[in-house]
Amino acid sequence: MEAPGSSPAQGAEIETLVRVAGRIRDSIEKVIEGKTDVVDSTLTVLLAEGHLLIEDVPGVGKTQLAKALARSIDCSVRRIQFTPDLLPSDVTGVSIFNQDTREFEFRPGGIFANIVVGDEINRASPKTQSALLECMEEHQVTVDNVTYQLESPFMVIATQNPIEMEGTYALPEAQRDRFMARVSVGYPPLASEIAMLASHSAANPLDDLDPVTDAAEIRKLVGVVNQVYIADAVRRYTVALTAATRANNELALGASPRASLHLLRAAKAHAALHGREFVLPDDVRRLTGPVLAHRLLPSASAAMHGRSVTDILETVVSAVPVPQS
């Protein structure tokens, strides 16, 4: 069944999107083996113009995943190593007085790139973490009352270790809410780990990655995703899911309206990646975990009873009726 407003031209654009996404996926999987679901989530966030938080224990390939995506796209890339002594100006930039011209000159920080890899973001102080808030939400940086626009596409891929580990700071709620999705890489299957020992021991596979697309083509694909059709019933279903998290007694903090927007945008990208010009309720339902879980906080009672956010979210989602086509 065709969605309202679909056309042969749009169908061709969707086919192009699937083909380009496949090339990026194949490129990333030369570095990250056996994690197709994680790679697909990364592509979904990229095409939905969001930001990605990768959380897991050290050594499972969080930074490798971020770098592999960056290497696969011919665009500007910068890496920021977040440490306790990192300053906000190191992220956003700083104005320096030029003795020759007798004027202040702006020196851009690490955030001025198409893809910004923020490594171990939760090892920096909350003050430095907050330097990303305006950048991620408004795609701009304000320094000394002067606003600088960030080039599109703009994506922050941040990695973090679990907060139970030494030397980490919990991300503020406002910071977590700006990440469209959170994924965990996890340990690879044994066969993939054995293959990694053979392929990674002699050389770093990142060194052999060549770009398979560029920033201009990614901007076009983002435009294709924006044209994906969404029925009113799917919009109501999306809001019903996020509203249910706010009304649940086991959650001290539910999903924000920004979460509703992120969930719907991610669902559009997910549909396009699967070759469809319209969003199904199942697209929304599949993404509730990656898009909503990191924004929620369990109540004290739920935490005492050992109820995790994931368990509570599954209960909430299962209780919301799915619209019928």
Render pLDDT for 66-77 as a digit per residue (tens, 0 to 9).
888 888 998 888
- Cα separation, 30 vs 240, in Å, equals 39
- pTM here is 0.89
Of 89, 82, 148, whose CA–CA distance to 113 is shortest?
A: 148
pLDDT (0 to 100) of residue 291: 96
* Most confident of the ranges 6-15, 52-61, 307-316: 307-316
Band the pLDDT of 2: cuts 50, 70, 90: very low
Distance (Å, rounded) from C-alpha 123 to C-alpha 119? 9
* Alpha carbons 74 and 219: distance in angstroms, whole number: 12
CA 99 to chain centre: 42
Asked if 259 and 246 touch (Cβ cutoff 8 Å), the reply is no
Closest to 266 in 3D by CA, of 52, 61, 66? 52
Q: Given this model, what pLDDT does residue 1 score? A: 41
269-325 pLDDT, tens digit per residue, is 999 999 999 999 999 999 999 999 999 999 999 888 889 999 999 999 999 999 886
What is the rounded distance in angstroms from the CA atom of residue 241 to the CA atom of residue 133?
Answer: 25
Residue 201 to residues 195, 198, 204, Cα–Cα distance (Å): 10, 6, 8
Residue 123 has pLDDT above 70, yes or no: yes
Q: Domain locations in the chain?
A: 1-227, 228-324
Kindly state the average pLDDT of the residues 110-128: 90
If one compares 192 and 55, the residue with the highest pLDDT of the two is: 55
Residue 138 pLDDT > 90: yes
Look at residue 162 in the predicted model and tell me its pLDDT: 75
Residues composing the chain = 325
Q: How far apart are CA 291 and CA 311, in angstroms?
A: 15
The 8-class DSSP code of residue 184 comes to -
CATH class of the domain comprising 228-324: mainly alpha
Residue 96 burial (CB count, 10 A): 10
Kindly indicate whether the domain formed by 1-227 is annotated with CATH number 3.40.50.300: yes
Exposure string of 20-30, with b = 16+ CB inside 10 Å and e = fewer, is bbeebbebbee
Which segment, 42-51, 113-122, 194-203, is predicted with the most confidence on average? 42-51
Whether residue 169 contacts residue 160, with contact meaning beta carbons closer than 8 Å, is answered with no
Asked if the model's pLDDT at residue 193 lies above 80, the reply is no
For the cut 70, the answer to whether the pLDDT of residue 247 exceeds it is yes
Sign of CA dihedral 19, 280, 28, 225: positive
